[in-house]
Amino acid sequence: MTQPLTLVVLSAGLESFREIRAALAEDGRGRLLAGGDDAEQVYEQLLHLKPSAAIITLGANAEPTLKLIERISVECPKTSVISAARDASPDLILRSMRAGAREFLRLPINSDELKTVLDRTTEFSAVQTEEPRKKGRMIAVFSSKGGCGTSFVATNIAAAMNQPTVLVDLNLQAGDLPLFLGVEAKYSIADLVENRARLDDTLLKSYITPHSSKLALMAAPREADAADEIEPEHVFEALEKLREHFEYVVLDPQHTFDAITLAALDQADDIVLVLTLDIPAIRSAQRALEIFDRLGYQRRKVRIVVNRWSKQIDLDLRQVEKFLGEPVVGFIQSDYQPVVTSINLGQPLVESEPSSRIAIEIKRIVSTIVGNKIAVNEDTTQRRRIWDSFFRRGASQSSVDFSTTLGKV
């Protein structure tokens, strides 16, 4: 239901005030809250009453009143200013519009004109009072090379969130995230896309597979054929819908720069770029960063995370960061046994082993991205040791000279 229109009026003298008041009463829609011919007083009333509209009359000396319209537009952006004048010259109309008036009303008031102006003002006011649409934060976990552990990292990032989150499998031809979450998905993103025209909350929820009270999965289609029908704009629409229902939308896209992946990366607020510390993966990450630059992504949208890190890797981290031109914000240890077990059991490690090094590091990465307090029970000594070993290695003679190695590939 639309809210009743409330008005404050600045007139040019008592006669003009009576005229406007009578016209409003005749139309019957507006509720006149206050008014008068003292500009400062009317301005104070506006600040206090925050009406949906203000009728501001321009007299012979229009300049100070135009300045007042400017102030109202800045201070009360939800109040629609209707300028009114006996002089309806194009010049005055233009100047009042430039000052911030949304409508112009000729005096003496013609009831048809007033009706049109109030119709438009009611529309504007309805939009102003609408609750802004909720928009969850979208985080794409991406690697342009397969096998770096992107799905594992995406699943655990999603499971580490402490607010309602949906994990979206964008590997449309061969998604495997139901396994990572230990669920069986009856429906997929293909159903959401197919029924997008009649989508309501209940239908949307029915297409999502719950994993826990705060984590759900939007699965990829089980049949590859269904994926062929899905266009990038469908995915965009589906993700926007999911955003309205979840605080976080975590994406696991394909490892290529296809149209759907690009659309999803574009739409995401953050990209976690996952790599392993081997030359092909570093190269691939560097190419991905170049593509992000060409796409105009701000570098702060991208966070680089190393997965499957181990002490045995003999690469100088500082050279890697220099090569990528970006710092690495997280290091997830390589620990085959618990990772494989967690995947085989369909239980994210942050849930099944929350105090493991990998879980702690993933939760720390999540809190650096979303900036809120995920319960990170961090063993700081342990972390310091990891960093120390990097920097000692940076200075060591035995480490691989990264720039020459890269030169060879």
Partner whose footprint covers residue 175, from Mg ion, ligand ADP, none (CB < 5 to 8 Å by kind)? none
Q: Which one of the spans 148-156, 159-167, 239-247, 290-298 is the region binding Mg ion (CB under 5 A)?
A: 148-156
Partner whose footprint covers residue 52, from Mg ion, ligand ADP, none (CB < 5 to 8 Å by kind)? none
Based on CB atoms, which residue is closest to ligand ADP, 96 or 150?
150
Instruction: Output the smallest distance, CB 312 to ligand ADP, in A.
Output: 13
Based on CB atoms, which residue is closest to Mg ion, 173 or 212?
173
Partner whose footprint covers residue 91, from ligand ADP, Mg ion, none (CB < 5 to 8 Å by kind)? none
Partner whose footprint covers residue 152, from ligand ADP, Mg ion, none (CB < 5 to 8 Å by kind)? ligand ADP
- Cβ atoms of 175 and 169 closer than 8 Å: yes
Q: How many residues bind Mg ion (CB under 5 A)?
A: 1
Based on CB atoms, which residue is closest to ligand ADP, 108 or 146?
146
Of residues 20-39, those binding Mg ion (CB under 5 A): none
Q: Please, which contacts does 369-373 make with residues 24 or more away whose CB atoms are closer than 8 Å?
A: 369/139, 369/270, 369/272, 369/303, 370/137, 370/139, 370/161, 370/248, 372/162, 373/162
Q: How many CB atoms lie within 10 A of CB 179?
A: 15
Based on CB atoms, which residue is closest to Mg ion, 65 or 151?
151
Most distant pair of Cα atoms in the chain: their distance: 92
Q: What residue ranges bind ligand ADP (CB under 6 A)?
A: 143, 146-152, 307-308, 332-336, 339-340, 343, 358
Based on CB atoms, which residue is closest to ligand ADP, 96 or 307?
307
Of the candidate residues 80, 151, 155, 347, the single one contacting Mg ion (CB under 5 A)? 151
The Cα 189–Cα 175 span in angstroms is 11
Beta-carbon contacts of 132 under 8 Å, excluding residues fewer than 6 positions away, are none
Instruction: Output the smallest distance, CB 356 to Mg ion, in A.
Output: 21
Residue 122 touching Mg ion (CB under 5 A): no
> Of all residues in this chain, which one has the CB nearest to ligand ADP in the complex?
149
Based on CB atoms, which residue is closest to ligand ADP, 72 or 148?
148
Based on CB atoms, which residue is closest to ligand ADP, 243 or 255?
255
The residues of the shown chain that bind Mg ion, judged by CB under 5 A, are 151
